[in-house]
Amino acid sequence: MNSSLLNKFEDIRILVIGDLMVDHYMWGKFERISPEAPVPIVDIIKEEVTLGGAGNVLKNLNSFGAKSDVVSVIGDDLCADELFTLLRDAGDSLSGIHHEPNRITTKKSRILASKHQMMRFDRESNHPINEASENFIINFVKDNAASYKVILISDYLKGTLTNKVLAEVIACARKNNVIVIVDPKGSNYSKYMGANVIKPNKKEAAIATGIDIADSESLKAAAQSLKKQTGADAVVVTLSEEGMAIYDDHFEIIPTKASEVFDVTGAGDTVLASIGICIASGMSIKDACVFANHAAAIVVSKIGSAVTTVEAVLQHIKNE
């Protein structure tokens, strides 16, 4: 890998489809316990709002220099306005955003003190989107699929990615020779049938297969099961501090590159974006995972939903 990657990445167009949300961080100091109840008192010093969920995938792609768009369904509330502003400020197109009445736009509020996340509050709707919203996503993809090299599906189980949406999007991508990479959730991965790459973490893989992943053999068995369930060309299982495993025509574990882990928030989004942009540039699944492993190592060493750059990843690889 070399610096020419930056030029390659700048020529790539990627579409992100999934659950958009606002990540809200409240940073503070913890020095005493409340006299009202045995709970910590956190003095808030600063607050930050940023794109989360599929939006964090988008942030990572933007940081890598790719041209990317997002398609999603949000509510018609104040948080939706906040999310719109974040997208606009990041320079992202708003044409793929659909408002659904009576839906709550997802917002996750986190309290952090002394480099630790102490609590999280969620406001959201997680019921399936309505038929009009489904048709909006499907029609957008049908109209624009040929413009993209890769479609990244970011599923947080908030209701955007219904079975109908997934089936139509994947079929359309296949028809237009667009690579589909999925960050999945849930217990039934057959809904992702036809995707090219499936990227669960170890816990998600165990839930979806019913296999207790305790060693490399059980990990391989789980990956094989997921490949069979989805018909994917490759399954990538992220293993947190242990790295990641790849199963395509053979099984391989890539050890972690992280020296310090402060916060794993959004690391899966970084891996999804990294693998997507690397495969879109023509890299093999293994080389894409090596790049993603280094990118993840950088973001988990930071607090909050962090991103990195191509230059930083290449330097991290060089310093190995």
- Residues with active-site annotation: 269
Its sign, for the CA torsion 235, 239, 244, 246, is negative
End-to-end distance of the chain based on CA atoms, in angstroms?
13
Instruction: Give the length of the chain.
Output: 320
Among candidates 91, 67, 97, which has minimal Cα distance to 79? 97
CA distance 22 to 59: 12
In 210-266, where does DSSP find H-type helix? 216-230
CB 116 within 8 A of CB 263: no
Cross-sheet strand order for the sheet of 234-238: 97-99, 67-74, 13-18, 150-154, 179-183, 197-198, 234-238, 244-247, 251-254
In the numeric block, which tokens belong to residue 111?
A: 């309290």
Q: State the helix-helix crossing angle for 131-144 and 163-175, rounded to 10 degrees.
A: 10
Tokens of 189: 């991965």
